[in-house]
């Protein structure tokens, strides 16, 4: 008889690109998870030496304190324009924007739409928590109907404030987009799927593809007036308005199929 020998095997470690530092994010906030996924992928794809990321305005502006690669800070909403400037003069770089929903879906709508329209070879990581977190939890274009925020104290009323903006679906019909998907940090299974989406988006860029975007349904317990666990559970409700899954994968032919505006492309 032989005895089983336990060989120590490392199952979990901090990615080299994730700086060993406590974040300033609130308990229950999803930014930390998204940061970690990006760090894991940058390490797995060996991109740290050529990554240039663009930081948003909002809580995640400090992403550069946690992710160990080159960063440029953008004015509010303008990250896709900053990324365009970087991309055009640094063809060899891996270019990433990290943006919130106020940033990307309100003030930066023109910049994200036209970065996609130009088919910029950049990847946008779009963290949607439905509110302006840093300024105190005001309504964003993505806020759910009926949701109480500091600027919709009686709940979001479509009569006066309109409807949640499905910006990822909008971007998926733009001919310059090659990959658009929506994931969530609601549970470990979803986080695994989210990582696969981010990997696919990164690979689209690395393979010479055009614009790619991954939306992440994330939490803002403080902005939502919930405990961290309530907030995470609430993500299932959010996903009723924003369905999870791959919205467009041009390379795989999933989603919108042939782009209407790209008929004349050589």
Partner 1 sequence: MTGTIERPAPVRDRVLMKGNEAIAEAAIQAGCDAYFGYPITPQAELLEWMARRMPQEGRVFVQAESEIAAITMGLGAAAAGARVMVSSSGPGISLMAEGMSYLAGSELPLVLVNIMRGGPGLGSIGPSQSDYFQATRGHGHGDYRVPVLAPSSIEEAVTLVADAFEIAERYRTPVILLADGLLGQAMEPVRPAFRAVPRAAADWTVGGAAGRPPRTVRSLHLEPEALEAHNQHLQRKYREIERAETRWAAEMLDDAEIAVVAYGTAARVARTAVERVRADGMAAGLFRPISLWPFPTAALRDLAPRLRGILVVELSAGQMIEDVRLAVEGRVPVFFHGRTGGMVPSPGAVARELARVWALTEPRPTARLEEARTAAAQVMAGAERSEAGPRTGQPAVDAAIWQERHAPMKDATR
Interface positions with partner 1 (CB under 8 A): 48-52, 54-55, 61, 64, 68-75, 78, 81-90, 92-94, 110-111, 113-114, 117-118
CB of 88 to partner 1, least distance (A): 4
CB of 65 to partner 1, least distance (A): 9
Q: Are 66 and 38 in contact (CB under 8 A)?
A: no
Q: Which residues lie closer than 8 Å to 253 by C-beta, 6 or more apart?
A: none
Q: Which CB atom, from 75 or from 155, has the smaller least distance to partner 1?
A: 75
CB of 221 to partner 1, least distance (A): 22
Q: Which CB atom, from 37 or from 93, has the smaller least distance to partner 1?
A: 93
Q: Are 35 and 191 in contact (CB under 8 A)?
A: no
Biggest CA–CA distance in the chain, Å, is: 77
CB of 68 to partner 1, least distance (A): 5
Whole-angstrom distance, CA of residue 140 vs CA of residue 221:
15
Pick the closest to residue 195 from 60, 44, 2 (CA basis): 44
Q: Which CB atom, from 61 or from 197, has the smaller least distance to partner 1?
A: 61
Matching residue, tokens 């060899």: 92
227: tokens are 């405990």
Q: Which CB atom, from 55 or from 213, has the smaller least distance to partner 1?
A: 55
Q: Tell me which DSSP letter residue 151 carries.
A: T
List beta partners, residue 125. Answer: 98, 214
CB of 63 to partner 1, least distance (A): 10
Whole-angstrom distance, CA of residue 148 vs CA of residue 225:
9
Q: Which CB atom, from 41 or from 191, has the smaller least distance to partner 1?
A: 41
Pick the closest to residue 102 from 64, 76, 81, 136 (CA basis): 76
CB of 41 to partner 1, least distance (A): 16
Q: Which CB atom, from 90 or from 252, has the smaller least distance to partner 1?
A: 90
Buried-state track 138-170, b at ≥16 Cβ within 10 A, e below 16:
ebbbbbbeebebeebeeebeeeebeebbbbbbb
Q: Which CB atom, from 117 or from 196, has the smaller least distance to partner 1?
A: 117
Parallel, antiparallel, or unpaired: how do β-strands 138-139 and 131-132 relate? antiparallel
CB of 30 to partner 1, least distance (A): 22
């Amino acid at each position: 008889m032989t005895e089983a020998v336990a060989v120590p095997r490392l199952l979990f470690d901090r990615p080299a690109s994730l700086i060993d530092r406590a974040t300033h994010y609130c308990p229950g906030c999803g930014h930390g998870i998204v940061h970690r996924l990006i760090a894991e992928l940058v390490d797995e794809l060996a991109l740290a030496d050529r990554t240039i990321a663009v930081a948003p305005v909002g809580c995640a502006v400090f992403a550069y304190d946690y992710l160990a690669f080159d960063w440029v800070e953008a004015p509010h909403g303008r990250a896709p324009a900053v990324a365009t400037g970087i991309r055009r003069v640094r063809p060899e770089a891996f270019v990433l924007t990290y943006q919130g929903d106020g940033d990307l879906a309100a003030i930066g709508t023109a910049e994200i739409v036209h970065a996609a329209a130009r088919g910029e070879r950049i990847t946008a990581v779009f963290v949607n928590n439905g509110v302006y977190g840093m300024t105190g939890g005001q309504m964003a274009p993505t806020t759910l109907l009926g949701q109480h925020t500091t600027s919709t104290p009686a709940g979001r009323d479509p009569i006066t404030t309109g409807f949640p903006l499905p910006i990822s679906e909008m971007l998926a019909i733009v001919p310059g987009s090659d990959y658009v998907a929506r994931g969530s940090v609601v549970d470990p299974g979803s986080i695994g799927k989210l990582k696969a989406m981010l990997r696919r988006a990164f690979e689209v860029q690395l393979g010479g593809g055009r614009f790619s975007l991954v939306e992440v349904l994330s939490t803002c317990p403080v902005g939502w007036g919930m405990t961290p666990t309530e907030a995470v559970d609430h993500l299932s409700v959010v996903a009723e308005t924003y369905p999870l899954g791959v919205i467009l994968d041009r390379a795989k032919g999933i989603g919108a199929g042939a782009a209407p505006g790209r008929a004349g492309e050589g």
